[in-house]
A and B are shown apart, each in its own frame.
Chain A
């Protein structure tokens, strides 16, 4: 109960900060919109082809967009030595991580809520498979990106070139998750195969990496 209280406090703080500045969401939204437009021009797809590639483009756009927000999330903590204060608090370090990861999940989900209808319009999509499964794939996939992303962005604070380091590590580690998200989304859109295996895999990936992140975050926060 006490742990939950700490997590909620961190979450509330991050949401309030974002509500006042709206840096992360605005940046992500416009960035992913640009990616959608650029891909649409690059491939100029027909309706059938767009069903095949839309899943990939959606997730690549979200991946790139979330990178921009994830770095900002920790940069806020570094200003005015807030992170040093966080290290001094008796609250568990993983609560800080969980609060920030949940906040990032909310930001990226908000972007998805705007982006998904735009996708349907720009690519003339209608799902041939079970469309409701997207409500399972989207949060699971977003959490896979955001959980590891928040962790590695914190790790990036320990490097000279923060902006470069995050994608360098996040992309290879999340490739299996990315594969699962894209395969599941394509399966839903084309209706040619069953997305169940990929949803299960995504779930397993999330359980494993959330556990590892929570266990190792203390080391990252107090590394020296």
Chain B
């Protein structure tokens, strides 16, 4: 018996070490993120020039647009991790579980970012257009993106415990294929949103780029921190589950064990 406890605690020691370095790295990353976010806040609220027609109301742009950009990037992480899961599922189930944890973490952060983007957009729309919501191309396609990932998370919640990852990965592939189709179809349907200021006909004054850049960086770092944190949590849950399964398996082997240990003294 003491031998077995030794073998279990053996590989634990380096794992504990790596988790403590992970914690230090995470704290450093969080501190850096907070610094960048504070700089971004100061740039956006106090330093960036006031916009000519919209006035101070335009400052929400420094939050709305970075959240939108990142809310469109994180789904790719989810898609990549889900494809990795589907490929590794049979070959290497343990690393497949890691990919699944990443997929879940990025999907949750996607929903948070897109929700915030929709909320800030509504605040701006109320002030600028006089309405909270318009069924315009960008708004509608972002809302559909939000719906797709909420559906993804809900289905994971509803699925049978052993099949969550596979069901989730399949839906993630469907969602990723659906997003460009949604975007194009709604483009054809209608458009009312301000023209894209970074790539389209709209333009952004040079002095505004500084504030914008700091905020994109800050919210990207914050998003990465959230994903990493959620990923670590999900990994911990997975490992706990594995250990539980292992202990149940060992308990089922227990009745056979004493017979083997008892036999040698009898023989002697």
Task: State whether B167 touches A158 (Cβ < 8 A).
Answer: yes
Interface assignment of B162: CB less than 8 Å from any CB of chain A: yes
A63 CA / B10 CA spacing, docked (Å): 58
Task: State whether B170 touches A175 (Cβ < 8 A).
Answer: no
Interface assignment of B216: CB less than 8 Å from any CB of chain A: no
Count chain B residues whose beta carbon lies closer than 8 angstroms to a beta carbon of A: 28
Interface assignment of B104: CB less than 8 Å from any CB of chain A: no
A140 CA / B186 CA spacing, docked (Å): 19
- Which of B176-184, B217-225, B233-241 has 4 or more CB atoms under 8 Å from chain A? B176-184
**Taking each of B86, B158, B182, which has the highest tally of chain A beta carbons within 10 Å of its own beta carbon?**
B158
Q: In the assembled complex, which residues on chain B have CB atoms less than 8 Å from the CB atom of A155?
A: 155, 167, 170-171
Known A-B contacts A172-B144, A173-B175, A212-B174; the reply to A201 vs B160 at CB < 8 A is: no
Binding site for A on B (CB under 8 A): 86, 144, 147-148, 151, 154-155, 158-160, 162-163, 166-167, 170-171, 173-175, 177-178, 181-182, 184-186, 188-189
8 Å CB interface, A171-223 against B: 171-173, 175-176, 179-180, 183, 197, 201, 204-205, 208-209, 212, 216, 219-220, 223
Interface assignment of A165: CB less than 8 Å from any CB of chain B: yes
Interface assignment of A89: CB less than 8 Å from any CB of chain B: no
A213 CA / B151 CA spacing, docked (Å): 18
Q: In the assembled complex, which residues on chain B have CB atoms less than 8 Å from the CB atom of A224?
A: 162-163, 166
Interface assignment of A169: CB less than 8 Å from any CB of chain B: yes
B174 partner, pick from A173, A179, A197, A205, beta carbons under 8 A: A173
Q: In the assembled complex, which residues on chain B have CB atoms less than 8 Å from the CB atom of A160?
A: 158-160
Count chain A residues whose beta carbon lies closer than 8 angstroms to a beta carbon of B: 30
B158 partner, pick from A161, A197, A201, A219, beta carbons under 8 A: A161
B182 partner, pick from A169, A176, A204, beta carbons under 8 A: A176
Task: State whether A219 touches B166 (Cβ < 8 A).
Answer: yes
Interface assignment of A42: CB less than 8 Å from any CB of chain B: no
Task: State whether A223 touches B167 (Cβ < 8 A).
Answer: yes
A160 CA / B154 CA spacing, docked (Å): 12
B170 partner, pick from A176, A183, A220, beta carbons under 8 A: A220
A224 CA / B93 CA spacing, docked (Å): 12
A158 CA / B148 CA spacing, docked (Å): 19
Interface assignment of A168: CB less than 8 Å from any CB of chain B: yes
A168 CA / B174 CA spacing, docked (Å): 13
Task: State whether A164 touches B158 (Cβ < 8 A).
Answer: yes
Task: State whether B177 touches A169 (Cβ < 8 A).
Answer: no
- Please give 14 more A-B residue pairs, beta carbons under 8 A apart, in addition to A164-B158, A209-B174: A155-B167, A159-B158, A165-B155, A168-B154, A171-B147, A172-B148, A173-B175, A176-B181, A208-B177, A208-B181, A212-B174, A212-B177, A220-B166, A224-B166
For the complex of A and B, list the 6 residue pairs with the smallest distance between their C-beta atoms, beginning with the closest.
Answer: A223-B166, A176-B185, A172-B147, A158-B163, A159-B158, A159-B159
B188 partner, pick from A172, A175, A201, beta carbons under 8 A: A201
A208 CA / B189 CA spacing, docked (Å): 20
Query: B163 → chain A, closest Cβ, in Å?
Result: 4
A169 CA / B181 CA spacing, docked (Å): 16
Task: State whether A159 touches B155 (Cβ < 8 A).
Answer: yes
Query: A172 → chain B, closest Cβ, in Å?
Result: 4
A29 CA / B175 CA spacing, docked (Å): 31
Residue in chain B with minimal CB distance to A178: B185
Residue in chain B with minimal CB distance to A211: B177
A179 CA / B166 CA spacing, docked (Å): 29
